[in-house]
Amino acid sequence: MSQLLNGLLWYVAFLFSTTLHEASHAFIAMRLGDPTAYEGGHVTLNPIPYVRKQPMGMVIVPLISFVVGGWMIGWASVPYDREWAMQYPKRSAAMSLAGPAANLCLVLLTALMVRVGMMLGLFVPPESVDFTRVIASTGEGAFTTLASFVNVFLSLNLLLFIFNLLPLPPLDGSGVIPLFLGDDHARKYLAWVRNPSLSLFGILIAWKIFDFIYSPLHLAFINLLFYPEAHYR
């Protein structure tokens, strides 16, 4: 497969997955009483509002990371009312959880697609697996392209789900913690995690530990996906 086509598959997967992640934050915030993101046009699967808000995270960094490393990384965000979050910390936590939950739904839907494809004889377990090789195609041309997209889409959404649930600011996992706290303690916690230096520290720690977390979980998911047809180590 040409580098250009591979890059296009990556970018489509990244753009849709990130857009759905952020739109889910915006939608749940709207339903729970904060219309900030909705009024800003972010309750949508149209990626343009997110690209306009974060062109560095949605365009420049993903393209650079693909050219340098052969995969894409980036970010996006939606606005929210911090006073609303302080007044309703449990609702704020639900908003934080919505993004990773959307990525998990995409992982499960893609896994279902893989199982159906295997039943139809379109996909088979590969000889070995890694981040960009989860399934193999039994055909050529469009089937190979479809398999390549599924490989990227499944692994990328599993990554977004796991990474964003790490309980470190500014990741969504840190915003989920108020679900397990009383309101007073939750408000104190939310005030504490808004420290910009704490967010920078959290991102550095997350990147350091993520490889140790993601790789075994990715492998376990693939083994579960192909059980009992294949088992990888």
Q: What is the mean pLDDT of residues 106-113?
A: 97
167 within a domain of the structure (yes/no): yes
Q: Are strands 123-124 and 136-137 parallel, antiparallel or unpaired?
A: antiparallel
pLDDT digits (tens, 9 = 90+) for 192-215: 998 888 888 898 999 899 989 999
232 within a domain of the structure (yes/no): no
pLDDT digits (tens, 9 = 90+) for 5-28: 999 999 999 999 999 999 999 999
Answer whether residue 109 shows pLDDT above 70.
yes
148 within a domain of the structure (yes/no): yes
With a CB cutoff of 8 Å and minimum separation 6, the contacts of 113 are 150
Integer CA distances (angstroms), 76 to 54, 169, 190, 207, 226, in order: 6, 15, 21, 17, 33
Answer whether residue 226 shows pLDDT above 90.
yes
Q: What is the pTM of this model?
A: 0.95
231 within a domain of the structure (yes/no): no
Peptide bond into 228 cis (omega under 30): yes
Residue 231, both tokens: 């088992």
Which position among 22, 83, 140, 229 bears the catalytic label? 22
Confidence of residue 2 (pLDDT cuts 50, 70, 90): confident
22 is catalytic: yes
Per the structure, the complete domain to which residue 53 belongs is given by 3-226
pLDDT of 141 reads: 87
**What's the domain count of the chain?**
1
pLDDT of 1 reads: 62
- Report yes or no: 66 and 14 within 8 Å, Cβ to Cβ: no
- Report yes or no: 6 and 63 within 8 Å, Cβ to Cβ: no
pLDDT of 195 reads: 85
Peptide bond into 170 cis (omega under 30): yes
